[in-house]
Amino acid sequence: MESKVVRVGIADLKAAKAPDLLVTLGLGSCVGITFYDARLKIGGLAHIMLPDSKQARAGSVNLAKFADTAIPLILEQLDKMGAPKSRLVVKIAGGAQMFAFMGADDRMRIGERNVEAVKLALKQQGLKISGEDTGANYGRSMELNLENGKVLIKAIEKGIKEL
């Protein structure tokens, strides 16, 4: 079977099966979270943008946008595909502070807050993080190969590394 690249946008999440690749491009302050079940070669990728759905003002319903709602949602999708969360390997990347402002206010710390919220949401699900590349001040792309579970992180002038 030919593998296809399944692209996950901003504030988006997707689950897929081998031999596909799950890819999200240009993570800045956002955080990408990959989930992989090696037995079934099924995985998911979420690209969250904000920490907490409770801070959202009225009218916002995209559950994939927030750490606290996206994680339960992707776990549910994976569970339906037969991948229970007990078997999932979880890795995270992103959460950078793209612009270093003097006297940075809370708004500029969005990357850091996203990472904290993702870790909290994963902990609440009883999930451990087995690979992490977060923080600093540069963008990242993240790729999960569902054939072998490898997670690759690409950054400008830093090359490609495996989580």
Partner 1 sequence: MEDITALSGVQMDALREIGNIGAGNAATALSQLLNKRIDMTVPRVSVLPLDEVPDVLGGPENIVAGIFLRVLGNAPGSVMFMLPRNSALILVDMLLGKEIGATKILNDIDQSALKEIGNILAGSYLNALSMLTNLTLLPSVPALAFDMLGAILSVVLAELGQVGDYALVIETEFAEANKEVKGHFFLIPDPGSLSIILKAIGVNEDGE
Which of positions 41-100 make contact with partner 1 (CB under 8 A)? Answer: 49-50, 55-60, 62, 65, 96, 98-100
Token readout for 104 is 């940075």
The nearest distance, CB 150 to partner 1, in angstroms, is 19
Annotation marks residue 95 as catalytic? no
CB of 1 or CB of 102, closer to partner 1: 102
**Dist. CA 35–CA 91, nearest whole Å:** 7
Within 38-139, strands assigned E span 42-48, 88-94, 129-134
Which of positions 21-40 make contact with partner 1 (CB under 8 A)? Answer: 25-30
CB of 126 or CB of 157, closer to partner 1: 157
Among residues 24, 11, 157, the alpha carbon closest in space to that of 93 is found at 24
**Dist. CA 56–CA 76, nearest whole Å:** 22
Q: How many CB atoms sit inside 10 A of residue 157's CB?
A: 5
The nearest distance, CB 139 to partner 1, in angstroms, is 2
Catalytic residue among 15, 30, 75, 96: 30
| Residue of the chain from 3, 4, 5, 9 that contacts partner 1 (CB under 8 A) | 9
The nearest distance, CB 11 to partner 1, in angstroms, is 6
**H or E stretch covering 75:** helix 67-80
| Residue of the chain from 139, 149, 150, 163 that contacts partner 1 (CB under 8 A) | 139
User: Exposed, middle or buried by CB within 10 Å (0-12, 13-18, 19+), for 156?
Assistant: exposed
- Provide the annotated active-site residues: 30
**Residues engaged in binding partner 1 (CB under 8 A):** 9-12, 25-30, 49-50, 55-60, 62, 65, 96, 98-102, 107-108, 110, 137-141, 156
